[in-house]
Amino acid sequence: MGQRNWVVIGREIYYGIITHARDEAPRECCGLIGSRSDGEQTRYPLHNLAHDPTREYFAAPEDIFRAMREMRMRRERLIAIYHSHPRGEARPSATDLAMAFYPEAVYLIAALEPETELRAFHLRSGTPVELSLQLKD
């Protein structure tokens, strides 16, 4: 069975990611999105512990553990990993491709300049495939 070429996220999740990106700038923000079978979604902001957080992200392991535990308790599954590019476009960088350890997850990238946007990708085998991003109320 093939992967979908689209992803649906709630408007609240969308605006939460953009706000997180703005709040962390000039550092990259990062986080996870969990979803229940009924479509309810939760955003899990994570701390960026990267050596150079203005150019890359490395999520705090204890934050990932906490988020995954909360997802299990809420009966959610991981559907997306997000991060920001405060001064670049919303396209995967070489570092993003090299660090894409969850091939089944959707990767959301938020850009702030030159314009604010959020784009979605599957990152498999070093090849980004852009997905249509749909917002739901």
**Residue spans per domain, the chain:** 6-136
Range with the poorest average pLDDT among 43-52, 85-94, 97-106: 97-106
Rounded CA separation 79/8 (Å): 10
Q: Is the pLDDT of residue 23 over 60?
A: yes
Q: Which residue has the tokens 């990259």?
A: 28
Catalytic residue among 24, 28, 56, 76: 28
Q: Is the pLDDT of residue 1 over 80?
A: no
Q: Which amino acid is at 35?
A: S
28 carries an active-site annotation: yes
- For residue range 35-77, what is the model confidence (pLDDT) as tens digits? 999 999 999 999 999 999 999 999 999 999 999 999 999 999 9
Q: Provide CATH code, domain 6-136.
A: 3.40.140.10
Contact predicate 66/101, CB 8 Å: no
Q: Is the pLDDT of residue 103 over 60?
A: yes
Q: Model confidence at 8, in pLDDT bands (50, 70, 90)?
A: very high
Contact predicate 21/84, CB 8 Å: yes
